[in-house]
Amino acid sequence: MLIIGFIGLGIMGRPMAKNLIKAGYKLIVYDKYAKYDDLVSLGAEGAASNREVASKSDVIITMLPNSPHVKEAILGENGVIEGVKNGAIVVDMSSIAPAASQEVGTALKAKGVAFLDAPVSGGEPKAVDGTLAIMVGGDRETFEKAKPILEKMGSSVVLVGGIGAGNVTKLANQIIVALNIAAVSEAFVLATKAGVNPQSVLDAIKGGLAGSTVMNAKVPMILDGNFKPGFRIELHIKDLQNALDTAHDLGVPIPLTASVMETLQALKVDGMAANDHSAIVRYYEKIAKIEVRK
């Protein structure tokens, strides 16, 4: 029986692991900071270290906040690389810098271990219902082996290129999402300040060219004043910093990304780092002195 190790059981990783258990996979789980008794109660086996997870698993999945956490979990002391078996597959589903993915992949290849970078989009709701969009970097053979597992967590699983390409694609995704939320925020603050009901605006434009998945997901939250995190502002800051760093290394100016990054930084200063990124609207509400609510 194929055994899957899962490292990183936060807002995203926990429901993803639960979906694998529901699909009938045997899981070995570990998180340095979070308890996972609920997963053990569902049939997973708890481990005491990243190394132990790797030593007992055929496929190891990591879902962690950023590049340093991934490198520590995989390459660090008591890390995956110390326990992983020759021929195993490591799939990092974190959103990290593409260069970090390539560094990890190179180190694992030297140990006879295949690697995929497979970041996701969709936030907590899609992690819960198993309909994430998963963008994968790596070789075709390894991708085909891992694809049935990934399909238990996502409704779209696409190989986009070699190692690092998954995270390049995720950076593109995060730029588009952040700018979309900012555009929606500007537009709905304008409409509300002009005295037009924001719910009516949503109903009128969501079926036209301006309509988007972002609008459909985030405007109802804004109208309810619900900024409970599905994807935290501090994590979007992390993603956009990786985007800016990567773009600068490649000589690609991304001025709109830099602008929305400063909006996110202002919200962080205002104590909203843990809010959902739909709280971008709060920046525009503050400077226009109006709230977009039902």
Positions marked catalytic: 170
Terminal CA-CA length for the chain: 52
Helices and strands, counts by H and E, the chain: 14, 9
How far, in Å, CA of 10 to CA of 65, rounded?
9
Dist. CA 261–CA 249, nearest whole Å: 18
Furthest CA-CA distance within the chain: 64
**Nearest C-alpha neighbor of 40 from the set 27, 50, 52:** 27
Radius of gyration of the chain (CA): 20
Pair of tokens at residue 20:
């694998």
The residue among 97, 227, 229, 251 whose CA lies nearest residue 174 is 97
Collapse the DSSP code of 96 into the 3-class scheme (helix H, G, I; strand E, B; otherwise coil) and give the result.
coil
With vertex at residue 138, the alpha carbon angle to CA 133 and CA 140, rounded to the nearest 5 degrees, is: 95
Buried b (16+ CB within 10 A) or exposed e, 255-279: eebeebbebbeebeeeebbebbbbb
Contact predicate 89/142, CB 8 Å: yes
Distance CA 88, CA 59 (A): 6
Q: How far apart are CA 190 and CA 210, in angstroms?
A: 15
How many residues make up the chain in this entry? 294
